[in-house]
Amino acid sequence: MPTLLRNVGEFPLIDRLVRRLRGVGPRLPLGPGDDAAILPALPAGRALFTTDVLVEGVHFRRDTVPPRALGAKALEVNLSDLAAMGGRPLAFFLGLSFPADYPLAEFDAFAAGLRASARRAGVALAGGDTTASLGPVVISVGVLGKLRSRRCIRRDGARPGDLIAVTGPLGAAATGLRLLAEGWRWGGRGVEGPGTARVTRRQARAALRAHLFPRARLDVGPVAAERGWCRAGLDLSDGLASDLVHLCERSGVGARIERGRVPVAACTRFWAERWGLDPWKLAAGGGEDFELLLALPETALERWRRRGLPHPPRVIGQVVERRQGLREVGEDGRSRPWKRGGFQHFA
């Protein structure tokens, strides 16, 4: 019989988790173990906080998402929100609910994934709450970050004339999700699934990796914010179809997107062809790519490109006046109203 969480108990489990994360990220005035954590000093307008919840059966299935991926992803989706605002991570809080019959080995793998992501981002565990669950695994993460300057990438700053850009190809995460539903799995040493050709496995691997091990754009969001390159932006978590609407609504503007310029991940093109699907559906309708969607003036784009940073923005359209609405220009040159889509809870 494998050891289960009920064989360990709450307080030893918390100790175990805290030990794994000891020494990761900056030293805090007071970390886990008391009623509250004491946070480092942050000047006015420079501290950011964001929180995201992952629910088993809604955001992930326990039989398809390895616990190591889950631990990393729970943190990365929050780091992505921070990156989108231009913040650098400092500390995080964990609210964990696991069933008592959850295997300890999987909990340890979850903690290892969390640790890997925390180390990469240089973020310290500051506190949390660990509870039993009678049903699903529920992971709630909150991250505290800081802005180095007062410049911040908000959703409400886009202005007509700005270019709209994304930091990378879209659709891979949605493709990975679909592959999981088709029986593909992320194994210890590569992917496993219904297909043996080398190219098939390579394209499956790329898509599964995007879905299971997303990386927050911490390498570009903060720099872009500090240099003042962006007028507005957010991370593509719900999907372009939906997130573009958020950006435009908050900024009080319209947009014109050129469908042919939206970069689609190679694995998405590969699998969409096999599935007889329009790759656009996966690229715009699927979420969780965690690329940044940005509005920026042309001069900023040129500066960004000259700097040679990773993930240079790829222009997909332009911000227009609100009364011009949100429109998409097809590869046939015809313009149609933007189809709002993307994931929405309860819908």
Q: How far is the CB of 332 from its own copies (least distance, A)?
A: 32
Check binding of 332 to its own copies (CB under 8 A). no
Check binding of 36 to its own copies (CB under 8 A). yes
Q: How far is the CB of 320 from its own copies (least distance, A)?
A: 22
Q: Which is nearer to its own copies, 216 or 264 (CB)?
A: 216
Check binding of 181 to its own copies (CB under 8 A). no
Check binding of 234 to its own copies (CB under 8 A). yes
Q: Which residues inside 199-228 make contact with its own copies, applying CB under 8 A?
A: none
Burial class (CB in 10 A: 0-12, 13-18, 19+), 276: exposed
Angle between helices 104-121 and 10-20 (to 10 degrees): 30
Burial class (CB in 10 A: 0-12, 13-18, 19+), 246: middle
Q: Which residues inside 121-160 make contact with its own copies, applying CB under 8 A?
A: 126-136, 138, 140, 142, 144-145, 152, 154-156
Q: What would the two tokens of residue 124 be?
A: 């310290």
Burial class (CB in 10 A: 0-12, 13-18, 19+), 200: middle
Interatomic CA distance for residues 263 and 283, integer angstroms? 8
Element (H, E) at 160: none
Q: Which residues inside 63-122 make contact with its own copies, applying CB under 8 A?
A: 81-82, 84-85, 87, 93-98, 100
Which one of 49, 261, 266, 297 is in contact with its own copies (CB under 8 A)?
A: 49
Check binding of 51 to its own copies (CB under 8 A). yes
Check binding of 250 to its own copies (CB under 8 A). yes
Interatomic CA distance for residues 190 and 106, integer angstroms? 19
Q: Which is nearer to its own copies, 43 or 333 (CB)?
A: 43
Which one of 3, 26, 33, 219 is in contact with its own copies (CB under 8 A)?
A: 33
Q: Which residues inside 13-32 make contact with its own copies, applying CB under 8 A?
A: 13, 29-30
Burial class (CB in 10 A: 0-12, 13-18, 19+), 77: buried
Q: Which is nearer to its own copies, 136 or 160 (CB)?
A: 136
Q: How far is the CB of 299 from its own copies (least distance, A)?
A: 25
Q: How far is the CB of 207 from its own copies (least distance, A)?
A: 24
Q: Contact 141/95 with Cβ under 8 angstroms?
A: yes
